[in-house]
Amino acid sequence: MFFSIGCGDRFSERYWKTPIDPQGKPPAGRSRLEASLDPESCGTCHPKQYENWRESFHSKTVGPGLKWQLRRLGPEGSESCLGCHSPLSETQNYIQEFEYGSPKVSEEVRSYVSPGTEEKGIVCASCHVRGHVRHGPPPRSAIAEGIDPNAPHGGFIVKKEFESSEFCAACHDSPEGGKPLAGKRLMETGKEWKNSVYADAKNEITCQNCHMPDRSHEWKGIHDPSFTRKAVTYTVSVRSSERGYLVSASLKNTGAGHFFPTYSVPKVFLVLERLRSGRPSKVLAEKTIGRVTDIELQHEFEDTRIPPGGEVVLKTRVSEDEWRRGDEIRFYAIVEPDEFYVRMFQENWNRRKEFEIEGRYESRLSEALRRAKSTKYLLFEEKIRNL
């Protein structure tokens, strides 16, 4: 049996209206395990998905980076953040009760969402449950579809939209009505994809094809070095010229269906340098790849991100004396996945007394800054030696 609620963007718009409406009282006859929206309960029958999710960033969206800001945001201000970071009404309710004292979590909610679930970010139910009805993509094996009171948790509704990029864009694109910055929304990953060859109907490659291969629930991205290396191709060369040598290096977006990198948070730093006696002796060229803004998100200074199929080239000339026998040219890239957060968190840490960031909020900020700084890594390096 197949149930249709809507299609494409319209389905996603309705499905992702946040905060997600309270599930209400669990249907009669369901066991405590079936009624529970705790991710551990889902993992009882879906262990692989649970283990993938537990290690993913989706399980960490309500971490110290968000939580240190809750006092400043207040109950109303936090709603826009929690709409994606913790979209269930029930988990938002727990957060608001702990942070602001109200509203109180009802006993009915406690019967199917355990205290502590609000700490686990985007839980299984955030994507898969509406009104205690489970939803998911078309099954890959011959199992019964649709509502069935005799099936585990009452069966499930099949929605092909779970395999569409629009499903992800609900959180990875800022709202259309949001305040633009330099004529763009802060997050436009879905739009970037839609304007690329990856969205070509004849050969569509969706978000899920890359970020959920074989339906993995890991959602790897810019924080994962191996995954990120698959998104780019790089070259470096040294050629003789009339005035010495021409050094050229390039980085091309050959595998990301959106700008590389997407968002304004991560940055990629390209450096072309000379090594002498095995040590860096001169920077020949460098470039920051990213959308560079101030920490208040009021000004965009530059946007050098690479669109799908696009390329950035660094070129410079060196004299024969600058490129001696035994010297090396090194081209490398450093990725700082949380560069914006490092700047923003550091500024607030430096001014924490002025901003009255105290107690648990100070501890959260300290941990958020530590975590953000720890994510930097070397994406690649290539050396050419003058023999």
* Angstrom distance (rounded) from CA 84 to CA 61: 9
How confident is the model at residue 179, as a pLDDT? 86
Per the DSSP assignment, residues forming a β-bridge with 134 are: 129, 156
- Predicted local distance difference test score (pLDDT) of residue 309: 98
Do 192 and 307 meet the contact criterion of CB atoms below 8 Å apart? yes
Give the end-to-end CA distance of the chain in Å, rounded to a whole number: 70
Q: 3-state SS of the chain: helix, strand, coil percent to 5?
A: 35, 25, 40
* Portion of the chain with pLDDT greater than 70, in percent: 96
Average pLDDT over residues 42-58: 97
Q: Where are the alpha helices (DSSP H) in the chain?
A: 8-15, 32-35, 39-43, 47-55, 64-67, 70-85, 89-100, 107-110, 124-128, 165-172, 189-194, 207-211, 225-229, 339-350, 359-373
Express each pLDDT in 342-359 by its tens digit: 999 999 999 999 999 999
pLDDT tens figures, 54-110: 999 999 999 999 999 999 999 999 999 999 999 999 999 999 999 999 889 999 999
Contact 91, 113 (CB under 8 A): yes
- The domain limits of the chain are 11-163, 225-386
**Cα dihedral 205, 211, 212, 218 in deg (nearest 10):** 180
Lowest mean pLDDT among 1-15, 48-62, 371-385: 1-15
pLDDT for 294 equals: 98
Q: What is the pLDDT of residue 146?
A: 67
- Least confident stretch, 42-56, 146-160, 187-201: 146-160
Q: Which amino acid is at 62?
A: V
**pLDDT exceeds 90 at position 141:** no
pLDDT-derived band at 3, boundaries 50, 70, 90? very low
